[in-house]
């Protein structure tokens, strides 16, 4: 028989191992959010849900810019491309912890692809 508190002890061990691997467990920096930050997002300091919110907001803004025939800031475009790469990594990795966000990650890639298309079209229109 396992001791009644066995799972609790295991849980603590797990957290410790994870903390050793990633340095420390961070919490999402968004107000009132207590979700942990996945290791791929440590640089961003937010949980996956808030990360997706942020990138969607930026992508939507860039898209709006494009649709008005304007070019979004080059740094912003590069940032968005980097987020696309990250989303691909999250989708392709062995990341069952991202499973519930799979749909949104795919949606994000579609949205970023749309921005990319729009930028290309604008660039072509400017050349001709």
Choose one: 33-41, 63-71, 84-92, 108-116; the region binding Zn ion (CB under 5 A). Answer: 33-41
Q: Which is nearer to Zn ion, 29 or 120 (CB)?
A: 29
Number of H helices and number of E strands within the chain? 4, 0
Contact map string, positions 49 to 78, toward Zn ion, x by CB under 5 A: -x----------------------------
Asked if 28 and 54 count as a contact pair (C-beta separation under 8 A), the reply is no
Task: Please answer whether residues 63 and 110 qualify as being in contact, where contact means their C-beta atoms are separated by less than 8 angstroms.
Answer: no
Rounded to the nearest whole angstrom, what is the least distance from the CB of residue 103 to Zn ion in the complex?
18
For Zn ion, the binding residue among 38, 41, 44, 47 (CB under 5 A) is: 47
CA-CA distance, 8 to 36, in Å (whole number)?
A: 19
Q: Is 28 one of the binding residues for Zn ion (CB under 5 A)?
A: yes
| Residue 30 interacting with Zn ion (CB under 5 A) | yes
Spatial separation of the C-alpha atoms in residues 57 and 117, rounded to whole Å: 18
Listed ranges 3-11, 47-55, 69-77, 93-101: which one lies at the site for Zn ion (CB under 5 A): 47-55
Asked if 92 contacts 120 with a C-beta cutoff of 8 angstroms, the reply is: no
Q: Which residues pair with 27 in a beta bridge?
A: 36
Extract the tokens encoding 40. Answer: 């791929």
Q: Which of 5, 10, 13, 35 binds Zn ion (CB under 5 A)?
A: 35
Tell me which residues touch Zn ion (CB under 5 A).
28, 30, 33, 35, 47, 50
């Amino acid at each position: 028989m396992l001791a009644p508190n066995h799972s609790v002890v295991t849980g603590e061990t797990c957290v410790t191992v994870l903390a050793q691997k990633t340095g420390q467990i961070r919490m999402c920096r968004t107000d009132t959010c207590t979700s942990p930050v996945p290791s791929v997002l440590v640089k961003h300091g937010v949980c996956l849900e808030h990360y997706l919110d942020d990138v969607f907001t930026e992508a939507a803004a860039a898209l709006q810019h494009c649709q008005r025939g304007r070019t979004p800031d080059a740094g912003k475009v590069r940032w968005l491309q980097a987020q696309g790469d990250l989303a691909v990594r999250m989708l392709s990795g062995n990341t069952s912890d991202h499973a519930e966000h799979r749909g949104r990650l795919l949606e994000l890639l579609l949205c970023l692809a749309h921005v990319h298309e729009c930028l290309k079209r604008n660039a072509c229109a400017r050349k001709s």
